[in-house]
Amino acid sequence: MAVEIAATFQEWKQNFLVEIDAQQHNVAKGDEFVSQILQAYYNLSEDDAIDATECAGAGDKGVDAIYVFPPEIDAGPRILVVQGKYGAAGIGLNIYTEAKKFLTALKDAYTGKIVTEAVDKVAGVLKNNGQVQYLIATVESLSNTQLADLENIKKLAHIDFGDQVTISSISLENIYDVLSTEEKIVTVDLPCKVVPVTKDAYVCVVRLTDMYSMLASYGKQCGTVDSIYDHNIRKYIKRSASAVNKNIYETLENNPSHFIAYNNGITITCHGAQETAQGLQLSTPQVVNGCQTTRTLYEFMDKHFAGIDPLHDPANAMVTYREAFIAVKVLVVQKDADGDKYAKDITRYSNKQNVIRGKENTSRKNIPRRPMSLIPLRQHCFMLRVCLVNHKKPLVKVVNLLLGARNLKAL
């Protein structure tokens, strides 16, 4: 499956379905559909994709394919479970009923009952503190009713299995958006405390709930939040466990108020940024540095607060994350050849500076510690000095803003 796409969505979709429709019966069509999804969206080889679908059939408990991801350093076992709905099976699909069938079977297998070989294998991953990604794959995008059912089943999965089970959906249009290099015109709001550095550069402090809200808004407009990442990153995000970083996840779970201290922040490029009363309005944003951070934040919030709108939270369920912050750099790039080169350079250079090697990290262990109350602010200001070394006047404003807010809630 080619990654670079020059065709329109309808042309690509027609080409995608040709081999599937060539199969002789519905079961084979369903298997081929799931196999093609695995190859296109997860970069699986054809052999691996075919092997993954061997579990499909009558009484499969909503499991049309399973794939155990190769082990990664500092990451537990991960397994992908796919339920594909092709042709008549996708018409009038009841997301809640279909996904609950799998969750019920998984609970039975987890308690020791023998269900099916595939479900028992998934339960084994859970018992070894692994992660289960359950994906519902459809030809057409989900309706509003189906999306509401998806949010409800996410809540049920979280109640039954905590953070170990993630449920999501994908349609052909979502896959096209991820694989395509064509930019969609998307406008999102980013509520924040913002300091204009130049007319095309801004430094912001953003509540975690507002960052999640911006990502969710983007995902709703584009069908998938993955499109917000640089094209070269999208190809690997679904395969890699590091896309959802364990240390970032633990900070969100245990010390969200320290997030701004422990995280280097993110960089967003866009074709336009307009200051508003609440912060910034961004045109066609892309996260070019901070993929792990934003992806982990999105996954975490989506698991813990499924169905809750961060902008309308009457029960104040998200209050802890409304009082936690992240640093964001926003850079406007023009939509022309020079702008494209500038954007690529931003991506290249910003990602070269975010790795601390073990030797460099341990060499600092004997440096006297600063007072803990100052670490979040001073670390954040150090990051801003690196970013804004050539912009002295705006820098003073940023430093004063942060040093004057010893209690981050003041932001």
* Domain-wise residue ranges, the chain: 9-178, 184-352+370-410
Residues 348-359, mean pLDDT to the nearest whole number: 54
Check residue 229 and give its pLDDT: 82
% of the chain residues with pLDDT over 90: 47
Q: For residue range 61-114, what is the model confidence (pLDDT) as tens digits?
A: 989 999 998 887 556 789 999 999 997 777 788 999 999 999 999 999 999 999
Q: What is the pLDDT of residue 394?
A: 43
Q: What is the mean pLDDT of residues 186-194?
A: 95
Structure-token pair, residue 260: 């701004």
Q: Does the pLDDT at position 3 exceed 80? A: no
pLDDT at 380: 42
pLDDT at position 359 = 40
Mean pLDDT, the chain, rounded, equals 81
Using one digit for the tens of pLDDT, what is the confidence trace for 191-247?
999 999 999 999 999 999 999 999 999 988 887 888 888 665 655 555 555 555 778
CA distances for 206 relative to 152, 195, 198, 272, 285, angstroms: 28, 12, 19, 18, 15
Q: Is residue 361 pLDDT above 60, yes or no?
A: no
Q: Are 190 and 282 in contact (CB under 8 A)?
A: yes
pLDDT band at 402; cut points 50, 70, 90: very low
Q: Is the pLDDT of residue 6 over 80?
A: no
CATH code for the structural domain at 9-178: 3.40.91
Q: Residue 168 pLDDT > 80, yes or no?
A: yes
Look at strands 279-283 and 272-275 and give their pairing: antiparallel
**121 has pLDDT over 60:** yes
Q: Is-contact 69 241, C-beta < 8 A?
A: yes
Cβ contact 210:177 at 8 Å: no
Give the pLDDT of residue 322. 94
Longest dimension (CA), the chain: 71
Query: Are 209 and 318 within 8 A, CB to CB?
Result: yes
Q: Given CA atoms 297, 303, 305, 306 in this order, what sign does their dihedral have?
A: positive
pLDDT of residue 230: 67
pLDDT above 70: percentage of residues in the chain: 79
Q: Which pLDDT tens digit goes with each residue over 260-305? A: 999 989 999 999 999 999 999 999 999 988 888 998 899 899 888 8
Alpha helices by DSSP H, listed for 3-45, are 9-21, 26-42
pLDDT of residue 145: 92
Give this prediction's pTM: 0.68
Residue 324 has pLDDT above 70, yes or no: yes
316 or 389: whose pLDDT is higher? Answer: 316
Question: Is 237 in contact with 291 (CB distance < 8 Å)?
Answer: yes
Place of tokens 């081929």: 32
